[in-house]
Amino acid sequence: MRLSYPVNIKIIKVPCTGKVDVLYLLKMFQNGADGVFVAGCMEGDCHFLTGNLRAKKRVEYVRRILDETGIGGERIAMYNMSAAQATRFVEAAREMTERIRELGPSPVKKIMEEVG
Amino acid sequence: MVIGEGKPLQDVLAMVSQNKKIIVAGCRGCVTVCCAGGEKEVGVLSAALNLARQKDDNPIEIHEVTLERQCDTEYLEQVRSFIDEYEAVVSIACGAGVQFMAEMYRKIPIYPGINTNFIGVTEQQGVWAERCQACGNCKLHFTGGICPVTRCAKRLMNGPCGGSTQGKCEVDPETTCGWQLIYDVLKEQGRLDKLEHIIPVSDWSTSRDGGPRRIVREDLKL
Amino acid sequence: MTSDSRLEKILEEGHFAVTSECGPPRGVGPEVIQKKGEILKGVVDSVNVTDNQTSVVRMSSWSAGVLLKQMGINPVYQMVTRDRNRIAIQSDILGAASLGINTILCLSGDHQKFGDHEAAANVYDLDSIHLIQTVKLMRDDKKFLGGDELKGEPRMFIGAAANPFADPFEFRVVRLAKKINAGAQFIQTQCIFNIERFKKWMEMVRDRGLHEKAHILGGVTPLKSIGMAKYIKNMVPGMDVPDELIERIKGVEKEKRAEEGIKICIETIQQVREIEGVHGVHIMAIEWEEMVPRIADEAGLLPRPAAQ
């Protein structure tokens, strides 16, 4: 279909969202991401049975940490889609980009840029 | 094992608010198993502290380290070579570990990064529950292997209070009445007669009431 | 006689005893307790004075008891083991006895979670059965728990509570037996709303011969409203209010529901009185003490006998 998604998104591939660790998510923010979304398979369709459900809980956990740090839990989200739903992926990417644009740059990133 | 859980991040941030260079020290013992103070949690806490401080334009340098145990001096020795380069340590070992580190390294503050909650078991992944109060005078042989000191909110010794309803504790409907459990197991074992005699007044001098406790084994001392 | 307790005399003389209770005030004013005392005087044989019930701080039970004593009422000193260790317990027993208190009810007490000081530490150095043993040891063996002899023993008539409506049901009689073996001479039960269950419990009590070893007083409480009935049923652990009872109160007009509650209470007293082994009733009119004289009168419990 060759759909285009916002160019500001950097994709990190994992074999299954079950591989997404809490630390990965936190490190992304430490490395300057303004927002992060995890794109997992549809619930109930995980090849490894519960990988996407685990990811969902970890995203929730990181959301709490982001709230506690003052970065804001709304900068992280989880979306579910099948491998065939390219349009759904593009939708999620656009929605997330919109949301983060409204929120503005991550306060962490701003500092990093100033430091150089 | 000793069960703990992370303190609210704001509390830890407040402790280190004046520091620019700290150590976050985990423990590979109990707190690793209960996911409160192991290597993973050292990473998460450090990342969270970093994020919060970066956001406030007040970055903090964190040395992450996880010791084999913090309740033994030989493992605590492992930080000696670099601890002097830092202003404070946030230890996420249990309260014993935090204190033992503070005893060994007196020049800088050692802060607790977790709350130590109880001696307990893993009921299921992600769920821990208390089983022992370390009263120093085990009575489990009288009570079907269920501890009334721990599992009764009033540590009653002679049966359930009048608040035991349908197997639940009056204090919390989510908590099973410890004495109901005792009754059930003794009934199953045909040992209900055990409950007929009065368990005498307890000697709490072996518990925390007697002051800090200590065990000396001459046969093991070097 | 083990004491000068009016309640002990009444029971030992074979009368059907009537007791009630009053909660001390949340302040220093003696008039609150005196007012309740005026209502209950001559209507009941003894008045229980609750000990920080539901873990809400109130005037101490022994001091409110002394106020009643000064009015010529026989107070039943309720003592819970929640707030005191064995040192304070024994000390308070000596103090109470020195002020003329001669009847004690030994309880473990409601957990502090229910009260106004949830952050408090609880003590539970002793349980209620240990407390019974302690009073008996001091009275009969003239000894403290620590083994030393005491000079001048507290002559207390010893009571305990029983809840036939808590679980596990079969164990409730075993626990009663333990209390009686420990030294309890009279028993006041939790409020009876489910008379069938109470009868069944009394059957088990008689099977063990416990009704001959201690005086059992059945607890009754008049229900003021549907709200109160539902609150007790759903919110108070270890209480059993059958649906039929709630339906019965619902069946009458709103203004007459309190009246129906009184009627039910009187009927319960009459039914309880018929049960073999029950030697009295304990009327707990929660913040409704003014109804006790009427209940006692209409249940045929008046006049109260003069104890010899």
Which residues in chain B touch residue C134, judged by CB atoms under 8 angstroms apart? Answer: 201
CATH number of the domain that residue C175 is part of: 3.20.20.220
Q: What does pLDDT average to over chain C?
A: 96
Q: Does the pLDDT value for residue A111 go beyond 90?
A: no
| Cβ distance of B201 and C122 shorter than 8 Å | no
Work out the average pLDDT over A5-13: 91
Flag whether C303 is in a domain: no
- pLDDT, tens only, A57-66: 999 999 999 9
- Token pair belonging to A34: 């303004």
Does residue C303 have a cis peptide bond before it, meaning omega lies within 30 degrees of 0?
A: yes
Which residues in chain C touch residue B182, judged by CB atoms under 8 angstroms apart? Answer: none
B207: DSSP letter = S
Of C33, C207, B48, B82, nearest to A65 by C-alpha is: B48
B165 shares contact with chain C (CB less than 8 Å): yes
Of A65, A78, A76, nearest to A100 by C-alpha is: A76
B159 shares contact with chain C (CB less than 8 Å): yes
Flag whether C1 is in a domain: no
Query: B26 and B15 in contact (C-beta within 8 Å)?
Result: no
Domain count across chain A: 1
B183 shares contact with chain C (CB less than 8 Å): yes
A23 shares contact with chain B (CB less than 8 Å): yes
Q: Does the pLDDT value for residue C263 go beyond 60?
A: yes
- The percent of residues in chain B predicted with pLDDT above 90, rounded, is 98
Q: Does the pLDDT value for residue A79 go beyond 50?
A: yes
Residue ranges of chain B whose CB lies within 8 Å of a chain A CB? 8-10, 40, 43-44, 47-48, 50-52, 54-57, 59
Flag whether A10 is in a domain: no
Q: Does the pLDDT value for residue A1 go beyond 90?
A: no
Which residues in chain A touch residue B8, judged by CB atoms under 8 angstroms apart? Answer: 68
Q: What does pLDDT average to over chain B?
A: 96
C86: left (phi over 0), alpha (psi -120 to 50) or beta: alpha
Q: What is the pLDDT of residue A112?
A: 59
Question: Which residue in chain C has the smallest CA separation from B193?
Answer: C174
Give the neighbours of chain A: at least 3 Cβ pairs within 8 Å: B
- pLDDT, tens only, C147-161: 999 999 999 999 999
By Cβ distance, the residue of B153, B165, B192 closest to C238 is B165
Number of other CB atoms surrounding residue C8 within 10 Å:
27
Domain count across chain C: 1
Widest CA span of chain A, in angstroms?
Answer: 45
* Residue C225, SS3 per DSSP: coil
Q: What is the pLDDT of residue C168?
A: 94
Work out the average pLDDT over C5-20: 97
* Residue B2, SS3 per DSSP: strand
Question: Which residue in chain C has the smallest CA separation from B180?
Answer: C168
Which residues in chain C touch residue B161, judged by CB atoms under 8 angstroms apart? Answer: 108, 128, 166, 238
CB burial of residue C60 (10 Å; 0-12, 13-18, 19+): middle
Measure in Å the smallest separation between the Cα of A62 and chain B Cα atoms.
Answer: 9
B-interface mutation test, from C86, C143, C167, most B Cβ less than 10 A away: C167
- pLDDT, tens only, C265-308: 999 999 999 999 999 999 999 889 999 999 999 999 999 998 76
Could you give the ipTM of this predicted complex? 0.93
Q: What is the pLDDT of residue C306?
A: 87
User: 3-state DSSP: chain C helix, strand, coil percent, rounded to 5?
Assistant: 45, 15, 40
Fold classification of B2-118 is Rossmann fold (3.40.50)
C-interface mutation test, from B201, B204, B206, most C Cβ less than 10 A away: B201
Is the Cα dihedral C116, C118, C123, C127 positive or negative?
positive
- pLDDT, tens only, B153-166: 999 999 999 999 99
| Cβ distance of B159 and C181 shorter than 8 Å | no
By Cβ distance, the residue of C127, C182, C237 closest to B170 is C237
- pLDDT, tens only, B15-52: 999 999 999 999 999 999 999 999 999 999 999 999 99
Say how many CA atoms lie within 13 Å of C33 toward its Cβ: 29
**Whole-angstrom distance, CA of residue C193 vs CA of residue C20:** 17
Which residues in chain A touch residue B52, judged by CB atoms under 8 angstroms apart? Answer: 68-71
**Whole-angstrom distance, CA of residue B54 vs CA of residue A115:** 11
By Cβ distance, the residue of B43, B51, B57 closest to A29 is B51
**Whole-angstrom distance, CA of residue C159 vs CA of residue B181:** 28
Instruction: Give the range of the structural domain holding residue C267, as residue numbers without chain letter.
Output: 6-298
Instruction: Give the range of the structural domain holding residue A59, as residue numbers without chain letter.
Output: 17-115
* pLDDT confidence bin for A4, thresholds 50/70/90: confident
Question: Which residue in chain A has the smallest CA separation from B9?
Answer: A68
Q: Does the pLDDT value for residue A116 go beyond 80?
A: no
Work out the average pLDDT over C231-253: 93
Give the neighbours of chain B: at least 3 Cβ pairs within 8 Å: A, C
- pLDDT, tens only, C68-112: 999 999 999 999 999 999 999 999 999 999 999 999 999 999 999
Q: What is the pLDDT of residue C287?
A: 84
* Region(s) of chain B under CATH 3.40.50.2300: 2-118
Supply the pTM of this predicted model: 0.93
Work out the average pLDDT over B178-206: 95
Measure in Å the smallest separation between the Cα of A27 and chain B Cα atoms.
Answer: 7
A60 shares contact with chain B (CB less than 8 Å): no
- pLDDT, tens only, C31-62: 999 999 999 999 999 999 999 999 999 999 99
